[in-house]
């Protein structure tokens, strides 16, 4: 395992409307993941948004910077700000819109 604790990112892609998604390269030990979750970071520029996402996995979002609006389960609309943490239960749709004037950076963690 690396001597530095700083992790790299891979599988960079553009998704939704101009959202940059990068997976966190969580380490392996003896070929097995050390973490019981997967992780990625998302950067959503002003005017951008994610796709509507819905899946069996449960997920948490950690809002690092920016301000925006999340539509949850097709019905709940809520404002988000830096420091917020959100939990999405299985099969609950979620989408984020950046209506602000700075990038939204957020971290996602998901697990079965």
Alpha carbon distance 7, 15 (integer Å) = 22
96 Rama sector, left if φ>0, alpha if ψ -120 to 50, beta otherwise: beta
The CB density around residue 56, as the number of other CB atoms within 10 Å, is 8
Contact 103, 44 (CB under 8 A): yes
Cβ at position 22, least distance to a second copy in Å: 9
Cβ at position 107, least distance to a second copy in Å: 4
Question: What are the structure tokens assigned to 74, written together?
Answer: 């097709």
Cβ at position 60, least distance to a second copy in Å: 7
Which CB atom, from 16 or from 39, has the smaller least distance to a second copy? 39
Which CB atom, from 16 or from 66, has the smaller least distance to a second copy? 66
Binding site for a second copy (CB under 8 A): 1, 3-7, 9, 24, 26-27, 34-37, 39, 41, 43, 58, 60, 62-65, 70, 72, 76, 78, 80, 82-89, 92, 94, 105, 107, 109, 111
């Amino acid at each position: 395992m690396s001597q530095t604790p700083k992790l790299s990112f891979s599988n960079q892609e553009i998704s939704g409307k101009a959202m940059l998604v990068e997976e966190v390269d969580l380490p392996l030990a003896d070929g097995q993941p050390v973490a019981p979750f997967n992780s990625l970071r998302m950067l959503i520029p002003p005017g951008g948004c994610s796709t509507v996402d819905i899946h069996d996995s449960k997920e948490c979002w950690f809002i690092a910077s920016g301000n925006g609006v999340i539509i949850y389960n097709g019905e709940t609309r809520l404002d988000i700000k830096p420091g917020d943490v959100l939990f999405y239960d299985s099969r609950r749709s979620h989408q984020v819109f950046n209506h602000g004037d700075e990038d939204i950076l957020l971290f996602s963690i998901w697990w079965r």
